[in-house]
A and B are shown apart, each in its own frame.
Chain A
Amino acid sequence: MSEETKTPPPPEGGAQPAAPKPAAPAPAAPPKPAAPAKPAGPVPLPWDSPLVAKYKRQFGSGLEAQSYLGQNYFTVDSSLIPNFLLLLRDDEGFDYCVDITAVHYPKREKQFDLVWILYSHGKNERIRVKTQIAETDTPPSSVAIWPTANWLEREVFDMFGIRFEGHPDMKRILLPDGWKGYPLRKDYGIIQQDTEWVQINLGIESGQ
Chain B
Amino acid sequence: MTDPTTTLSRNPLDLDESRTFLDANELVINMGPQHPATHGVLRVILKLDGEKVLGTECVIGYLHRGVEKIAENRTYTMFNPYVDRMDYVAAVSNALGYCEAVEKLLNVEAPPRARYIRSILTELNRIASHQLWLGTHALDIGAMTPLFYTFRDREEILKIFEKYCGARLTTHAFRIGGCQYETYDGFEKDVLNFLQFVAPKIDEYEELLTTNRIWVERTKNIGVISAKDCIALGVTGPVLRASGVKWDLRKAQPYAAYKDFDFEIPIGQNGDTYDRYIVRMAEMRQSLRIIRQAVDAIPEGPIMAKVPKVIKPAVGEIYHSIEAPKGELGYFIVSDGSTQPYRVRVRPPSFVNLQALDLMVRGALVADVIAVIGTLDIVLGEVDR
Contact = CB atoms under 8 A, between A and B. Distances in A.
Nearest to A35: B308
A103 B334 contact: yes
Contacts of B36: none
Contact of B4 (A9, A42, A147, A175): A147
A18 B74 contact: yes
B9 A144 contact: yes
Contacts of A183: 66, 69
Contact of A175 (B61, B70, B343): B61
Nearest to B319: A117
Given A26-B310, A173-B61, A15 B73 contact: yes
A95 B308 contact: no
A117 B346 CA distance: 12
Chain A: interface size category? 35 or more
B158 interface: no
B347 A99 contact: yes
Interface stretch (B111-119, B180-188, B226-234): B226-234
Contacts of B334: 103
Interface string B50-86: 0000000000110010101110111101100000000
A187 to B, nearest CB: 12
A79 B247 CA distance: 34
Contacts of A30: 308, 310, 312
A146 interface: yes
Contact of A98 (B104, B307, B338, B347): B347
Nearest to A186: B72
A175 B68 CA distance: 14
B297 interface: no
Contact of B308 (A14, A29, A126, A147): A29
Contacts of A145: 5
A69 B8 contact: no
Contact of A33 (B69, B308, B328, B345): B308
Nearest to A95: B231
Interface string A105-126: 0000000000101000100101
Chain B: interface size category? 35 or more
A200 interface: no
A60 interface: no
B135 interface: no
Contacts of B64: 174-175
A128 B310 contact: no
Interface in B205-237: 231-235
Contact of B78 (A22, A68, A121): A22
A25 B309 contact: yes
Contact of B316 (A42, A96, A152, A175): A42
Contacts, number: 154
Contacts of B307: 33
Given A15-B73, A23-B339, A169-B11, A69 B66 contact: no
B305 to A, nearest CB: 11
Contacts of A172: 61
Given A29-B308, A98-B328, A103-B342, A16 B234 contact: no
Contacts of A14: 73
Contacts of A63: none
Contact of A173 (B60, B253, B309, B317): B60
A104 B334 CA distance: 11
A190 B8 CA distance: 37
Contacts of B308: 29-30, 33-34, 37
Given A95-B232, A117-B319, 15 more contacts: A9-B72, A16-B73, A22-B339, A25-B310, A26-B312, A30-B308, A37-B106, A68-B316, A68-B317, A71-B318, A117-B332, A147-B4, A147-B7, A148-B235, A174-B60
16 contacts: A6-B336, A6-B338, A9-B340, A22-B77, A23-B339, A26-B312, A40-B107, A69-B105, A98-B328, A99-B319, A121-B247, A146-B234, A147-B8, A152-B352, A159-B68, A184-B72
Which 7 A/B pairs are nearest by Cβ-Cβ distance?
Answer: A148-B234, A33-B308, A147-B8, A15-B73, A174-B61, A29-B309, A99-B347
Interface of B: 4-5, 7-9, 11-12, 60-61, 64, 66, 68-70, 72-75, 77-78, 104-107, 231-235, 245, 247, 252-253, 306-310, 312, 314-319, 321, 328, 330, 332, 334, 336-340, 342-343, 345, 347, 351-352, 355, 384-385
